[in-house]
A and B are shown apart, each in its own frame.
Chain A
Amino acid sequence: MMSIDELNRIKAEKEELVLVRRLISEEGEKLCGKTGYRKQVLVCGGTGCTSSGSKKVLEALDEALREQGIDKEIYVVKTGCFGLCALGPVMIVYPEGCFYSQVSPEGVRRIVEEHLKGGNIVKELLYAETVHEDGSIISLSETRFYKKQMRLALRNCGVINPEDIEEYIASDGYQALAKVLTSMSRDEVIDEVLRSGLRGRGGGGFPTGRKWSFAKAAEGDIKYVCCNADEGDPGAFMDRSILEGDPHCVIEAMAIAGYSIGAEKGYVYVRAEYPIAVQRLDIAVKQAREYGLLGDNIFGTDFSFDIEIRLGAGAFVCGEETALMTSIEGHRGEPRPRPPFPAVKGLFGKPTVLNNVETYANIPQIILKGSEWFSGIGTAGSKGTKVFALGGKITNVGLVEVPMGTTLREIVEEIGGGIPGGKKFKAAQTGGPSGGCIPACHIDTPIDYDSLIALGSMMGSGGLIILDEDTCMVDISKFYLEFTVDESCGKCTPCRIGTRRLLQFLEKITSGRGEPEDIDKIEELALHMKASSLCALGQSAPNPVLSTLKYFRDEYMAHIIDKKCPSGVCRDLLYYEIIPKLCKGCTRCAKNCPANAISGEVKKPHVIDKNACIKCGLCVKNCKFNAIVTR
């Protein structure tokens, strides 16, 4: 069994090893000397970087270190996500804090030879933004991507080895659990969370402390703590990154929740589509049990707690709390009417607290640093930070964490590095299929729960998709409706039929058959769906349509009246054509057409067969004479 002394002993032993990665200064260098390793190399092992080849990078690194005979002097760590997924695979060398991006196995060999062995930083392989004009190195925290970020929920992601519980312990891990178990009453814990102003990060934004107090007040011999890791919003990956980079913080927070409401068992419901996250979480749970941080009589107190992992099976509706519980119970993941709320009658009919991964990730620090510290960050109604998965038409695709109240402009133009290809920012989509868009005219809005709702969108879980002038707003609404039609569980009629009808209207409009009255019908149907659907999926399914109608009604009208798609996306409303005058007959387009839809003789103007054309746009890209246009 783990005692608090033992916990502190492990912490003291490993503290310096981990601290080196948080300090980029002379102090870090001194500290590094004390750890027994000359340098540390951190390689991102998150899903993004793994997909772009970080496994091969790690293999090459190990091999090169051994070849050079310095494998004993260099400490290699496979971490979770650093955030800058667009530049993967990424690696950092400490104590210098050199950030190498888009690293190839060949690059690794050079870095090992020239930098790790020779002591000369390989500047041309560094992330360009970290090299100053005069050749000096800029600290990563001073780059545009990181400067305005504040990493609380992600504090350990990309810093520690998620598969080593001792590195988590070295970063104050399980200290919060020790504190609540030995010096705080259950009410004090709930009160601390309540006063911090923490609101649910999964979408709804309900005050976490209140949820806990309801579950504590509920009568019942058995209670449960659940973690929603069924991140279903397509384009959102913050929960995955936390589980991949810092799984123990979720385990610790669930145990704290268990103590405060009087539960001994927790379930994590995680997407099966996230194999790396599932594997790391599994390792973390096993290690926590081994160290006595899960199980019976934790820290010698009478509090016992254990966690079971349940895999989802690909159903967006299971992100809804009652549907998630129904799914853990082994049934079709259909939502239940509320009340009774889960705090009173949840999993297996028992009082249950359910929070999302990012919400839990904030808890240990709130306990350790206090509610006042936490509530000092953010805006009046939204405290702390929010993690966003920044994606779409943006240069720095990745994971960013900013204080609540940061403006969209700061996120897009500074952190995100702007829109690639000199295109114009059109809108940002938040909240996924349940949310809406923020148009360019509101780019200076400080982002928090309330300001997004006022704009007709919502925070959602934190997917932030940037759209540029080439994105058709009607098409994007149709995309989300297709998603909700697929994912509607079918239990209640307003959602099952409503989403389908709504999609039919959008299909009609994007195929050029729309009529002006359709807009009124859409709006009326949307109101009914919002009022009468059983759960949030159906209630919020019309949001993408309503919000684009609010800000981009002219685009809808262009499709309906002029039968044109202003962004050139809706295929039925456009066709590709070769301008004979400009075509030199180079045959490049015909050779590369995947549908063999282009024909013509060499050196004579070519023709596109409109029936065979799949409108992929490849010919436009390939044509050197700008002879192919869309109409």
Chain B
Amino acid sequence: MEAKQKYAFRGTAAQENRLKEVIAKHKDRPGGLMPVLQEAQEIYGYLPIEVQSMIAKGLDISLSEVYGVATFYSQFSLVPKGENRISVCLGTACYVKGADKILAAVEKKLGIKSGECTPNRLFSLDSTRCIGACGLAPVMMVNDDVYGKMTVDQVDGIIDSYAEKSKSGGDGA
């Protein structure tokens, strides 16, 4: 798998302990796999095959079942997310107002496609289906910040400002 070679797993023992608690909490509840995956993704930021294996073992189900669910839902990511998570809304309201052009500009700026992460893990990019801020279309989100009524020429400046912040914040790139 390409993703696996590109992004090595860097899980810690503390993370593993938290995951074990989560598994114990949901093990006997009906339909517990989804909440476990959701919380595991919060712990690790994504769901690499290593984490999926631990979940399969913990819940006593097959890895293929875990993988099947993890790959079915778009919220679950098998590749890591960047320090800054960018998402461009491609819901209908945003699309008719030119969101595809915003996405193209971000892809060009970062040199990655939607669903990918920059090699330095500074930025990851996703396209989402409607965050519900249709009044501000087209909309782009960086982490929890919402940028509404976007134009293509704003893209560079916004991304640069986050790159700047990450650098001055220390470990950054």
Contact = CB atoms under 8 A, between A and B. Distances in A.
Contact of A463 (B92, B133, B146, B156): B92
B113 interface: no
A392 B152 contact: no
A476 B132 contact: no
B129 A392 contact: no
A616 B105 contact: yes
15 contacts: A51-B136, A52-B135, A234-B95, A234-B129, A237-B130, A273-B131, A310-B31, A311-B38, A327-B34, A392-B93, A392-B96, A465-B93, A480-B92, A592-B153, A614-B105
Contacts of A327: 34
A389 interface: yes
Interface string A34-69: 000000000000011011100000000000000000
Given A432-B92, A467-B96, A272 B38 contact: yes
Interface in A574-631: 592, 594-595, 614-618
A594 B32 contact: no
Most buried by B among A235, A333, A595: A235
B33 interface: yes
Interface string A308-340: 001111111000000000011111110000000
A235 B69 contact: no
B44 interface: no
Contact of B148 (A52, A310, A332, A471): A52
B133 A48 contact: yes
A546 interface: no
B34 A52 contact: no
Contacts of A236: 130
A405 interface: no
Interface of B: 30-35, 37-38, 65, 68-69, 72-76, 90-93, 95-98, 101, 104-105, 108-109, 128-137, 139, 146, 148, 151-153, 155-156
B136 A52 contact: yes
B72 to A, nearest CB: 4
Chain A's interface size range is: 35 or more
A330 B30 contact: yes
Contacts, number: 153
A74 B123 CA distance: 44
Contacts of A467: 96
Contacts of B156: 594
B92 A391 contact: yes
Interface string A263-275: 0000000001110
Given A234-B130, A476-B96, A330 B91 contact: no
Contact of B104 (A233, A391, A483, A616): A616
Contacts of A330: 30-34, 69
Contacts of B152: 594, 616, 618
Contact of A594 (B73, B130, B153): B153
Interface in A159-192: none
B148 A235 contact: no
Contacts of A240: 132
B105 A48 contact: no
A486 B127 CA distance: 12
Most buried by A among B33, B104, B135, B139: B135
Question: Which 6 A-B pairs have CB atoms at the shortest separation, nearest pair first?
Answer: A85-B135, A313-B73, A234-B91, A391-B93, A330-B31, A235-B92
A333 B73 contact: yes
A429 B109 CA distance: 33
A397 B34 contact: no
Contacts of A234: 90-93, 95, 129-130
Interface string A560-573: 00000000000000
B105 to A, nearest CB: 5
A251 interface: no
Contacts of B105: 594, 614, 616
A616 B101 contact: yes
B34 A313 contact: yes
Contacts of B73: 312-315, 333
Given A392-B97, A479-B92, A315 B74 contact: yes
Contacts of B129: 232, 234, 314, 316, 483
Contacts of A332: 68-69, 72
A88 B104 contact: no
Nearest to A398: B135
Nearest to B87: A273
